[in-house]
Every structure is written in C-alpha cells, then in structure tokens.
Structure 1
Amino acid sequence: MSAKPERPTNSNENSVKVESEEHDQGKSTIEVNEEKLPSRAAAVHEQIRMEGEKELERDWLALMLSALAAGLSMGASLAAKGIFHARLPDDPSRFFIENIGYTFGFIIVIMARQQLFTENTVTAVLPIMHKPTPKNFAILFRLWGIVLLGNLLGTGLAALAFIHMPIFDENTRAAFTSLSEEIMHNSPGEMFANGILAGWIIATMVWMFPSAGAAKIWVIVLMTYLVAICDLTHIVVGSVEILYLVFSGALPWQEFFYPFAIPTLAGNIIGGSFIFALISHAQIRNDMSDKTKAERLKAQRENHSRKEHTDKLDRE
C-alpha cells in the first residue's frame, strides 16, 4: 500500500461531492501509504474509505445500471444452486455441494465491479463515519436507495426469466421452488438475526479485499460459502428466490416485504454498517488520534528546543 491514488475530479460543479477533512484542507487525495499511517489496518480503512467516496459521488444513472446488472447477475446463485440440487443424489453431501452454487452470483458481481447493496453497507459508510454531516448522510441514503432499487429490479427480472423462458427443465424449476420455500420457514426474528450475521460476513469480506491480492476470488468464495451453509438471509440473493415464488404464484406479494425483505434488509444494514463498520472505524480513529497527538507533541518539543537554542544565543 505504498501508492497514493488520486481521487477522481469532476468538472461538473453540480456533481455530488462528499464532505471530508481532505476537502476542507484543500487536498485531492486520501493518504493510503502504510508507512505514513499508524497501522496496516489504518491503511486498509483509508483505501476502503477512498473507494467509498468514489461510489458515493458516482452519477445516479451509472449506479442504477450497475445495480440492475448486479441484481441480474445474482440470479446465477439460484440457477447454479438449483441445478446442483436437481441433479445430485439426495444425501447429506448434496447440501454442501449445492451451496457452492450460491457463491457464483457474488463472484460475477464483485469481479465485474457491479453495485451490490450489502457491499455498500461498509464501503460507502466509512466516509460518513469519518465526517457524519447531514449532507453526507443524504448522499449515503441516495446511494443506498438507488443501488437497492436497482438490485431488486434486477433480481425480479432474473426471477421472471427463470419462470417464463424455456431455460430450465421441470426438475430444476421444482428445485428453485423447494430451495426458495426453505427461506420462508424462518420467522421474522430469524430473518433479522440471520441478516445481521450475513451483513457482518459480507462486510468482513470487503475489509479483506485490499490485502487479498490475487487471492480475492478465493476470499469471495470462502466468505459467501459460509453465508450459504449457515442458511443466512441476504437481501439481494434472497430476493431472487422469494420473487421466484411470488411470480410463480406460490407466495403472495405482501410476504416478500414481510416477513422476508424488511427484517432481512434491517439485519444486513445493522450487521454491515452499525456493527462491523462502526467498530472498525472506531479502532482506526483511535489509532489516527494517537498518531496526531504524537505528532503534535513532537512538534511542541521541537519548538521548545528551538526556543531554548535561540534564548541561549541571545544570552551569549
């Protein structure tokens, strides 16, 4: 992390701009050089914060199209999982093999740099925690609203395609229904609690990316596979499954929103933003505060030494 990437500049004066200490100081970059920061964790934090500011300042149409693509791509998780479920023998090993399919959508979305809502519960939140002004919160809610809407539209289109296009055989369609109905066995409280843990795991995955290097794809596979085998609830992947039930007539519309979407969304946000991001930010802010205090104390000592030297010369 020795590089010091520059923030993108936008000549449009009406573009969205995140308020930050760097802007107040007239700087165009966020320092991510580990040698100039108090810890490696601080360097990771600042790199993710820089990425978050870029996402927060993106054009709304670009965000919407990227989020729509992510929702469509997440259909790959249900498709792969359903195919495995339909074709593997019904024994205990099937559960662990079919859940490898759950990771496919995440691999596509993250490696293609598409906008996924649960990634933004940590990436986009760090700049706001760095400077929690009303304007920054408004920019965050703008991003969340656009990305969540785009993701849900994409998952809805994926579910409709799976139902109405002649892609899958009857056994695979039956597997889609069976897998999706398993989610609805959870109570609203279970949806919420599972969503918290899923949000935490996805936020942890995002935090690991700057250090992952060429192993990034394995981080995605391992962390999302953990979400799958724990049967946790994720607002985007789960929406493909629940909307499949809704559009096939197996579930009324209102049950998509409750008991599924509202508790799951709340859990994902709390797990990713208010727990993981807040704790991680608090840790780094303490490091940065200690560094600032040390630098101020060093400057005071140097000033005192210079003053003593000047007084000595004056006396001579």
Structure 2
Amino acid sequence: MDDAPTDPEPSEELAHDDPERQESDREIERDEAGLTRHERGQIKDNLRLSARTVFSVIRREGEEELHRPAMSLWWSGMAAGIGISTSVFAQGLLHNAFETHPHRELIAAFGYAMGFVLVVLSRLQLFTENTLTAVLPLLAGPNGERLWRTARLWAVVLAANLFGTFLTALLIDVLVDPAHPTLAGMLAVSRKAAEASGTAALLDGIPAGFFIAAFVWMLPSSKGFEIFVVALFTWLIAAGGFTHVVAGSTEMFLLAFHGEMAMGEVFGTHLLPTLVGNVVGGTGLFALLAYAQIKGEI
C-alpha cells in the first residue's frame, strides 16, 4: 500500500564532504523514516531548490548552448532580435494610449516586458541571458575550449540579435505609415531611451544586466510562474530607465532610419557602452556572485 512506511530514499546530500552535514542529513532521514511515501513526497514538493541545484540546472543548460551548431545559434538569435522588438511596439502602443495619464511612463513600461516574455519563454537566444548561462560552465571548469566556445556563442548571438532588430526597424520604417499613432509612440519612447548615451548608457546598462541575470537564476525555482518573474524584472528595467543592448538597438535603429541619428552614433555612443554595462552587470557582478556562493559546495 502507498501509505505504508517504507525505507527512506538515500539523500543526495549524504555525498557532501562535510561530516557535520552528513550527520545532520542522517538525523533528518531517521526522523522521516516513519512518514508515509505520500508525506515524504509532499516534503520534496515543498522544498525550495538549493543554490547548488539552481547552479547545476543553469550550468547544464549553458553546456548545451555552448555545444550547439553556430547556424542554430544564429537563427535562434535572429528570431530573438525580431521578437524582442515587441517590447518597443508594446511600449509605444501603451505610451500613445495613455497620453494624458499622470503615470504614463510606468504604465508604458509594462509593454517593455512583452518582448522579453516572448523571447525567454520561447527559449530563443538572447545575448544578455548568456552573460550568465554560458559563463557558469566556464567559471566551474575554466579551460581554453570553454573560453573559445563562450566567445563564439556571445559573438554569434549578439550579431544575430542586432541583425534581427535592425531588420525589424527597417521593415517598420518601410512598411508603416509615418502618421500611424503607434509609430509615434515608438519613436517617443526611443527618443527617451536615446537620452542615455556614453558613460550614462554604460552605467544604466549595469543594473539591466544584473536584473536579466537575476531572473535567469530564479527561473528554475519559478516553475509555473516564469511569466511573472520575467515580466516583473523587465518592467523594472524600463521603469527605472535602464538600458538593454538588444531591446535598445531596436529603438536606436528606428531613430536612425527616421533620420534622427547617424549609424555611427547608434553604435559608438549607445550600443557599445550599453553592451559593456550589460556584461559588467550580468557577468562581472551577478555571475561571479552566484558562483562564489556555491564554489565551496561543488
């Protein structure tokens, strides 16, 4: 019968090198020996994932990404660049719809989350996600092969993302009526984003990179609630006026095609500084901190 007491299943924690930890685990096993299989299942279902478990999940995903063919990364990255442009469309739509609302900017920021929800839940390749996912395997086992594969992944995905946003902005410029109210809203939020340039864009890119890496770290623990985690933190990026190199490239390309910015300015004073900030926030801060907290346990 399912409710009859059974021998406790071996604990994965018993493999830990700390003798005190092993003894504690054995004590827990003894205390739970009288529980039914159903009760022990309820305990498992309600346990939060440990930091080591989250690390292992993301590291395994990173290893898989590092070994994907370059063409697979390219097409996935280009699709992500097109998909992330939904953020600018939805933000412009809300910006125009709530023209007279006192909290117009905060409401429009919810639209910014839409592209990230589309890309992340579709499992498309977004560069700023890879500042954490692809780096954890390198931190756990640094070698020349992993370094090369990480550099290849970053280069292919970033180029594909930017090509996708460039193509989307070009199509919008060619196909959409300049008098369309949603386009006016998209241009308005793009002009607002363009106010951050140079050092300001770099500094604003650090929190954005950190938040992206943070929600990637939280996703394994957020089964069933992924959409809310992604939407919350990407809304925070837009509401805080922080800069994201891929979503922001759609905005900058739109301004360039509209004749309000030169391409040299797009890359030199906006995208490049934002890229540096995103990498510092995602890899230099979050990835290193996430790895440091479990380094002694793996």
TM-score (norm 2): 0.82
From the superposition, tell whether residues 134 and 262 of structure 1 become closer, same or farther in structure 2 (CA, over 3 Å).
Answer: same
Q: Which residue does the alignment assign to 2:36?
A: none
SS at match of 1:72: helix
Q: What do the CA deviations read for 1:272-305 (whole angstroms, capped 9, x no partner)? A: 01111011111111223xxxxxxxxxxxxxxxxx
Q: What amino acid maps onto 2:259 in structure 1? A: G
Which of the numbers 61, 75, 82 marks the counterpart of 1:65? 75
Which residue type is aligned with residue 140 of structure 2? H
* CA gap 1:211/1:36 in 2 versus in 1, 3 angstroms: farther
Q: Which has the larger radius of gyration?
A: 1
Match of 1:161 in 2: 171
1:115 equivalent in alignment to 2:129? no
The alignment partner of 1:106 has SS state of helix
| Paired position in structure 2 for 1:299 | none
SS in 2 for 1:203: helix
Kept in 1: contact 2:176–2:183 (CA 8 A): no
- Cα deviation for residue 231 of structure 1 reads 0.6
One-letter code of the match for 2:278?
N
- Deviating beyond 4 angstroms after TM superposition, the runs of 4 or more aligned structure 1 residues are 33-39
Question: Among 224, 235, 239, which residue is 1:214 paired with?
Answer: 224
Tell me, what secondary structure is at the counterpart of 1:118? helix
Matches of residues 136-285 of structure 1 in structure 2 within 5 Å?
Answer: 136-166=146-176, 169-285=179-295
How has the CA–CA distance of structure 1 residues 49 and 34 changed in structure 2, closer, same or farther, with 3 Å as cutoff? farther
Distance 2:14 2:190 in 1: 49
- Calculate percent identity across the aligned residue pairs: 39
In structure 2, C-alpha distance between the alignment counterparts of 1:164 and 1:41, rounded to whole Å? 48
Q: Which runs of 5+ in 1 are unaligned?
A: 1-32, 289-316
Change in Cα spacing, 1:251 to 1:51, as seen in structure 2 (3 Å) is: same
* Aligned 8 A contact 2:206 2:282 in 1: yes
CA contact 2:208–2:278 (8 Å) conserved in 1? yes
Structure 1 contact 202–272 (Cα < 8 Å) conserved: yes
RMSD between superposed Cα atoms in Å: 1.7
User: In 2, Cα distance between the equivalents of 1:190 and 1:273?
Assistant: 19
2:222 maps to amino acid: A
Q: Label 1:259 to 1:166 Cα distance change in 2 as closer, same or farther (>3 A).
A: closer
Whole-angstrom CA distance in 2 between matches of 1:143 and 1:206: 17
> What is the CA–CA distance in structure 2 between the aligned matches of 1:215 and 1:168, rounded to whole Å?
38
Residues 114 and 36 from structure 1, CA distance in 2 versus in 1: closer, same or farther, beyond 3 angstroms? Answer: farther
Aligned to 2:85: 75
Query: Relative to 1, partners in 2 of residues 1:52 and 1:86: Cα closer, same or farther, differing over 3 Å?
Result: same
SS class of match (2:110): coil
Partner of residue 144, structure 2: 134
CA distance in 2, matches of 1:139, 1:226: 32
What is the identity, as a one-letter code, of the residue corresponding to 2:276? A
Compute the displacement of 1:61 (Å). 0.4
Deviation at 1:170, TM superposition (A): 2.6
- Deviation of residue 75 (structure 1)? 1.1
- Aligned counterpart, 1:287: 297
* 1:122 aligned counterpart, secondary structure: helix
1:2-13 equivalence runs, <5 A: none
TM-score (norm 1): 0.78
Q: How many angstroms does 1:254 deviate by?
A: 0.7
What is the CA-CA distance between 1:36 and the residue it aligns to? 5.4
Output the CA distance in 1 between the equivalents of 2:94 and 2:136. Answer: 38
Cα distance in 1 for residues equivalent to 2:239 and 2:229: 16
